[in-house]
Structure 1
Amino acid sequence: MKKIVLGCAFVTIGVAALPALAAGSQTFCNGGAAGNGLVAATASQTDFVKVPFTPKCSANVFLVGNDRSATLYTVGSASIKGKSSFGGSSAGGGVVRIGDCAASPCAVGDATAGEAAAPQS
């Protein structure tokens, strides 16, 4: 569980040094083995983050991110071995528990739900 929070915190806290994602949610980790993320985020001068990155995934973690605007970046996560989804954003605060996963085990949809529920103002 700590790895999920740390993964989200890495993306959220370090977001000023991270790149912009294409419009819409992007899945970085799919609950598989530890290692580099599935995709690399691309840079854009019009989005919140500016430098390309490939996140590192912990084993069993689902991680999604969304570069929503020039002033807002949101993240969501869940673990295939956990029961909760998490979300966070650049709008302040930190990564927080959003709620229980829809089913057991958690799935990537729970991470997406956490991202969608993250603070946006």
Structure 2
Amino acid sequence: MKSIILGSVLAVVAVASLDANAAGTSTFCNAPNVAGNATATAAAGTDFVKVAFTPKCSANVFLVGADESPLLFRVGAASSKGKSFFGGSSAGGAVSRGGDCTGTGGVCSATDATSGQTGASSS
């Protein structure tokens, strides 16, 4: 499951962007919905990614992202069956474990995915 989460995070960092009119963090996948909840679109020179797409996730994945500038895109991911959340950014391309999830018994939620996104490197 960790490889699925990491793969999702890497894919989004590599090719994703949010609509230029969207503010803040966007929820791409919200477990158990496997079809993407949001379509990442390109904007003329103001966003990191230049090709629009709708991501698909495994059934248990929470995936959020924020297009913050032409040079920075940050994502966070967690699994509803996992115990850790992850974050990554276009600033170096690193994806790393952000910490333990806060839910009962260590179960992850969308809030944990957001924690991974906000904790991802911005420089």
TM-score, scaled relative to structure 2: 0.88
Q: CA deviation at 1:33?
A: 4.2
**RMSD value, Cα:** 1.3
Q: Does 1:42 find its partner at 2:45? A: no
Separation in 2, partners of 1:23, 1:50: 18
Q: Matched residue of 1:63: which SS?
A: strand
Deviating above 6 A after TM superposition, structure 1's stretches of 4 or more consecutive aligned residues are: none
Q: Matched residue of 1:76: which SS?
A: strand
Counterpart position of 1:107: 109
Counterpart position of 1:71: 71
* Aligned partners of 2:18 and 2:47 also within 8 Å: yes
Separation in 2, partners of 1:93, 1:72: 10
Number of paired residues? 117
Counterpart position of 1:120: 122
Q: How many percent of aligned residue pairs carry the same amino acid?
A: 55
Say which is worse superposed, 20-29 or 96-105, in terms of deviation: 20-29
Q: 1:84 to 1:95 in 2, by over 3 A?
A: same
TM-score, scaled relative to structure 1: 0.89
After superposition, the C-alpha distances for 1:11-38 in whole angstroms (9 at most, x for unaligned) are 11x23xx33433311001111043x201
After superposition, the C-alpha distances for 1:72-98 in whole angstroms (9 at most, x for unaligned) are 000000000001010000000421101
Separation in 2, partners of 1:91, 1:65: 14
* Aligned partners of 2:42 and 2:51 also within 8 Å: yes
Q: Which runs of 5+ in 2 are unaligned?
A: none
The 5 Å alignment of 1:1-121 reads 1-12=2-13, 14-15=14-15, 18-21=16-19, 22-34=22-34, 36-45=35-44, 46-103=46-103, 104-121=106-123
Separation in 2, partners of 1:43, 1:33: 24
* Aligned partners of 1:43 and 1:49 also within 8 Å: yes
Q: Which runs of 5+ in 1 are unaligned?
A: none
